[in-house]
Amino acid sequence: MTKIPYRIYLNEKQIPDAWYSMRAAMKEKPDPMLNPATEEPVKAEDLTPVFAEKLVMQELDGETAYFDIPGGVMDLYRVYRPSPLIRAYNLEKALDTPAKIYFKFEGGNTSGSHKLNSAAAQAYYAKEQGLSGLATETGAGQWGTALAEACAYFGIPLTVYMVKASYEQKPYRKSIIESFGAKVIASPSSTTIGGRKILAENPGTTGSLGCAISEAVEKAVTTEGFRYSLGSVLNQVLLHQSVIGLEAKAAMDSIGEYPDVIIGCAGGGSNLGGIIAPYMRDKLLGRSAPRIIAVEPASCPSLTRGKYAYDFCDTGKTTPLARMYTLGSGFIPSPDHAGGLRYHGMSPILSKLYHDGFMEAVAYEQTKVFEAAVLFSKAETILPAPESSHAIRAAMDEAIKCKESGESKTILFCLSGTGYFDMKAYEAYQNRTMTDYVPSDAELNDGFEGIPALADFACA
Amino acid sequence: MTKIPYRIYLNEKQIPDAWYSMRAAMKEKPDPMLNPATEEPVKAEDLTPVFAEKLVMQELDGETAYFDIPGGVMDLYRVYRPSPLIRAYNLEKALDTPAKIYFKFEGGNTSGSHKLNSAAAQAYYAKEQGLSGLATETGAGQWGTALAEACAYFGIPLTVYMVKASYEQKPYRKSIIESFGAKVIASPSSTTIGGRKILAENPGTTGSLGCAISEAVEKAVTTEGFRYSLGSVLNQVLLHQSVIGLEAKAAMDSIGEYPDVIIGCAGGGSNLGGIIAPYMRDKLLGRSAPRIIAVEPASCPSLTRGKYAYDFCDTGKTTPLARMYTLGSGFIPSPDHAGGLRYHGMSPILSKLYHDGFMEAVAYEQTKVFEAAVLFSKAETILPAPESSHAIRAAMDEAIKCKESGESKTILFCLSGTGYFDMKAYEAYQNRTMTDYVPSDAELNDGFEGIPALADFACA
């Protein structure tokens, strides 16, 4: 038998030509987003002022399984895809495990992460519709970089509201976003009504993804020809990210492998939703039963400690309500938390799948995550993003369990990005100044304060 | 005819199993290194206190064409190689040129550059010989990162003397080197006799590659079981880097392409020597006549404005003398110069090839280089290192000439690394605070002061 190579590359023709929507195979669909004013499910006309029209269709269509990838998006995909599937032989050796560990590496583009997969689509549709610009937010900076890159490619002006904690800690993230021609504003800012309100209430705040979303949405809906763009959580984003899983499955199939366990880190759920897509299809259709594990930070544990309820997607309470696992839209994660994965909620699709038992979730403290990241980088010559390192930690722990049980399971995880802009966090880990933070139950409850919607719409 | 894909990947079995030495095909060999004490060509026993034994053999052997790549090195190569050959369709479109532009992308590993190709070999041979550690220097940080990564992989302790200008400007470079377990010391330092001497003479100096080499060599030869490791200039390094060109040629052959022009940036010459290796073989054997262009910074122009003469490889004048194009081992480039490519000399092999007319050279000011880098990053979704962007600039200019002449030439360049640790320089370019610096003839002459060896050994 031929030894499986380290890197399994598909050829260009094997880049999928359609995205796959997991919702099509779900017997019980995720609950619809609600208009907070009417408490009715949102309609296309509610969303078209916010998103490009084709994206609104993708957001609301729960029935269609495959959506053709437009030629313009394929042109950009071909510049950096297919991404490699890598057999982590060295990590296996370092762990002395009988498990077979594979990872899909999505960090091999300038933006340094999988986020470009959806950014390409969102910028393309904005161009196609003749929009004059996009506004977005970014936390750790991966999404802002990706969308700036895609907007530069398609020639779309972009304003990025960057969570102030990241803006200050990661000046080089700001630089790279600007080098692609986008405008970067620290959030909360005085440029929006929402930002001024948050600053008035909490002058010292270092911001949150929820605040930045409020500002970006406000900018988009108050600027002629602008629309809003979001890098995670939304159904459309999970749809675009399915390219990760479709490629991963094609590559795994080509070497006769099927994963027993599939792992992804989860903030809003974009890379996890991507890597699992075709395997979740199999599971939903009863054709296989792989374990699927979402990995989140202990400091922002929406799946493992949040409530499954209707909540706003932003801190300013300007968005529709989504039914999801949430820590409350008022929750702002500790500034000591190093990586991304700082969102108070979770993709409604993934929330529903978790709620219905198709998925597990686990939370890790960050020093455990960086321990895994450093070991991985030495073994596999890739410096992982802190976000992605959550998945590495879980994959390692599964592989260690295999060693104990003597089982040779096949583990697949998504390495969603690289850590080149996270050296400050790596430095803190090396210097042992990194601390772990686990919010108390009382702190978690604070996030829900002042959100009547939660009470009104809360479900069992 | 099928359209050539954006990314041409070889499979794992196509990673070369032997390195190729251009010297074997050179009718006139480069002049030998000289022992400065005896003025005699250095012998193996002069070098074995400095380098691992197998590396000394590779350094001195000018006749052997192919050297088998050891299994241990192949194991590490397979983790990140083959690297992709990429057709720069988008850059071609942006330039509206009939030229076909290909680049070999060597930045897709944690170290972010081609340097890992030689680091893997040097760390492996240190391990094989049972050495207790390595000492090296790093300028912009690519080499230090690569060797730290390779040493982590093979379990070899490493001390890195990092040019003080980089140490201060690039704290994250230091962090990543440390995260691989290496010790980093700002050079010049008080930890060596050479460093203390340089500090006494020039207390405010921000260092140079030449100073750092002196310190690393001193550390290596005065520490039991240690050896020295260098990331460029040396014959052994060009040998290891031939893997770039061998893969590039195999990929070009697979699509029926042969370059009319081959371009690489050149500081000490490692990536240029790598990408051109098999094509220079053809040229030396009279089988083809591609143009081969070395691209250097106008602020450190060893080929275009240096002398072809015997000189020390370091500032402290502790190394053997090499006959090469040099600005004088006393030359310290302006701290305003952003990228690497700061070495006063040039690979003796490349110097000889340039001297004998097998190669051209061109120098660019850095704002021109960053202009090309930003355009490239928007078109091709890769943020290039400032070093590599010298090659991009030259490739673009060749492509623009093709537009003017209507010729459809095939251009191949080496994209030796990524720019994630160079955001400060990108920021300076964007803010228009970046300046260009071209040393005067008088300043260049200063570099030669106090080097009697130069006069003694200078050749026509």
CB contact under 8 A, B381 and A12: no
Query: What is the pLDDT, as a whole number, of residue B455?
Result: 44
pLDDT in tens, A344-389: 999 999 999 999 999 999 999 999 999 999 999 988 888 999 999 9
Cβ atoms of A391 and A240 closer than 8 Å = no
Model confidence at A434, pLDDT cuts 50, 70, 90, reads: very high
Q: What is the pLDDT of residues B369-387, one digit of tens each?
A: 999 999 999 888 889 999 9
| Confidence band of A172 (pLDDT split at 50, 70, 90) | confident
What is the chain B residue with the closest CA to A375?
B180
Q: Do A76 and B381 touch (CB under 8 A)?
A: yes
Q: Which among A9, A109, A420 has CB closest to B381?
A: A109
Q: What is the C-alpha to C-alpha distance for residues A315 and A201, in angstroms, rounded to an integer?
A: 12
CA distance B112 to chain A (A): 9
Of B332, B308, B307, B329, residue with least CA distance to B318: B329
- For residue A4, give how far its alpha carbon lies from the nearest alpha carbon of chain B (Å): 10
Smallest CA–CA distance from B89 into chain A, residue? A79
Partner residue opposite B420 with nearest CB, options A79, A421, A426: A421
| Mean pLDDT on B235-246 | 98
pLDDT at B1: 47
Half-sphere exposure of A228 (CA within 13 A, CB side): 25
Nearest to A179 among B110, B377, B382 (CB): B377
CB contact (8 A) between residue B149 and residue A378: yes
Scanning B255-346, the segments in alpha helix (DSSP H) are: 270-284, 302-305
Q: What share of chain A is helix, strand, coil (3-state, %, to 5)?
A: 45, 15, 40
Q: With a cut of 0.90, is the ipTM above it? A: no
Nearest alpha-carbon partner for B217 in B239, B241, B196, B195: B195
Rounded CA-CA distance A419/A81 in Å is 20
| DSSP designation for B418 | B
In angstroms, what separates the C-alpha of A148 from chain B's closest C-alpha?
A: 9
Contact (Cβ atoms closer than 8 angstroms) between residue A149 and residue B381? yes
Decide if A49 contacts A129 (C-beta within 8 A).
Answer: no
Strands A18-20 and A66-68: antiparallel
For residue A262, pLDDT beyond 70: yes
Token reading at B185: 């010391």
CA-to-CA distance for B152 and B147, rounded, in angstroms?
8
For A64, counting Cβ atoms within 10 Å of its Cβ (0-12 exposed, 13-18 middle, 19+ buried), the class is middle
CB < 8 Å to B180, chain A: 377-378
Which residues from B are below 8 Å from A423, CB to CB? 171-172, 175-176
pLDDT value of residue A13? 92
**CB–CB contact B383 A176 (8 Å):** yes
Beta carbons of B109 and A423 less than 8 Å apart: no
Who among B79, B180, B424 is closest to A90 (CB)? B79
% of chain A residues with pLDDT over 70:
97
Give the separation between CA B371 and CA B166, rounded to whole angstroms.
22
Q: Where are the alpha helices (DSSP H) in A381-457?
A: 386-405, 423-430, 441-446, 452-457
Name the token pair of A24: 């099509």
CB contact under 8 A, A381 and B76: yes
Region B65-76 average pLDDT:
96
Single-letter amino acid code for the residue at B388: S
d(CA B182, CA B186): 13
* Per-residue buried b or exposed e for B115-141, using 16+ beta carbons within 10 Å of the residue's own CB: bbbbbbbbbbbbbeeebebbbbbbbbb
Mutate to test the interface with A, among B179, B392, B424 (most CBs of A within 10 A): B179
Q: Is A181 left (phi over 0), alpha (psi -120 to 50) or beta?
A: left
Mean pLDDT to the nearest integer, B178-204: 93
| Residue B71 burial (10 A CB sphere; 0-12, 13-18, 19+) | exposed
Question: What does the block give as tokens for B50?
Answer: 């400095």
Residues B127 and B155: beta-carbon distance below 8 Å: yes
Exposure b/e, A369-398, CB count within 10 A at least 16 = b: bbbbbbbbbbbbbbbbbbbbbbbbbbbbbb
Which residues contact residue A269 at a Cβ distance below 8 angstroms, ignoring those fewer than 6 apart?
A232, A233, A238, A294, A346, A347, A349, A350
Residue B281's pLDDT band (cuts 50, 70, 90): very high
Distance separating alpha carbons of residues A161 and A338, to the nearest angstrom:
19
In eight-state DSSP terms, residue A24 is G
Scanning B40-192, the segments in alpha helix (DSSP H) are 44-47, 53-60, 71-80, 89-95, 116-128, 142-154, 164-169, 171-179
Contact assignment for B9 to A9 by CB distance below 8 Å: yes
Domains of chain A by range and CATH? 7-15+81-112+241-457 (3.40.50.1100), 25-66+114-229 (3.40.50.1100)
The helix/strand/coil state of B331 is coil
CA distance linking residue B142 with residue B160, whole number of Å: 12
* pLDDT over 70 at A171, yes or no: yes
pLDDT score for A446:
75
Gap between the Cα atoms of B446 and A185, Å rounded: 47
Cβ <8 Å between B108 and A108: yes
Provide the residue count of chain B: 460
**Mind listing the pLDDT tens digit for each residue in A267-315?**
999 999 999 999 999 999 999 999 999 999 999 999 999 999 999 998 8
Average pLDDT of chain B, as a whole number: 93
Residue-averaged pLDDT of chain A: 93
Q: What is the pLDDT of residue B190?
A: 96
- A-chain CB neighbours of B423 within 8 Å are 171-172, 175-176
Q: pLDDT tens, A8-62?
A: 989 899 999 999 999 999 999 999 999 988 999 999 999 999 999 999 999 999 9
* Bridge partners, residue A413, by sequence: A103, A263
Q: Which residues of B touch A251 (CB under 8 A)?
A: none
Of A7, A112, A426, the CB nearest to B175: A426
Res B111 pLDDT > 50: yes
Q: What is the pLDDT of residues A227-256, one digit of tens each?
A: 999 999 999 999 999 999 999 999 999 999
Q: What is the mean pLDDT of residues B278-295?
A: 98
Structure tokens at A188: 């909360």
pLDDT at B449 (0 to 100): 65
Q: What is the DSSP letter of A341?
A: -
pLDDT given for residue A456 in this prediction: 46
pLDDT score of A455: 43
Q: Å from B272 to nearest chain A CA?
A: 23
Tokens found for residue A60: 């609301």
- How many CA within 13 A on the CB side of residue A309? 20
Given a contact cutoff of 8 angstroms between Cβ atoms, the answer to whether A315 and A211 are in contact is yes
CB pairs under 8 A between A and B: 125
Element (H, E) at B402: helix B386-405
- What is the nearest CA distance from B181 to chain A, expressed in angstroms? 9
State whether B12 and A7 contact (CB < 8 Å): yes
- The average pLDDT across B62-77 equals 96
Residues from chain B contacting residue A171 (CB–CB below 8 Å): 423, 427
CA A407 to chain centre: 31
How far CA A296 is from CA of A268, A301, A416, B365, in Å, comes to: 10, 6, 14, 47
Measure the CA–CA gap between A371 and B62, rounded to whole angstroms: 45
Look at residue B225 and give its three-state secondary structure: coil
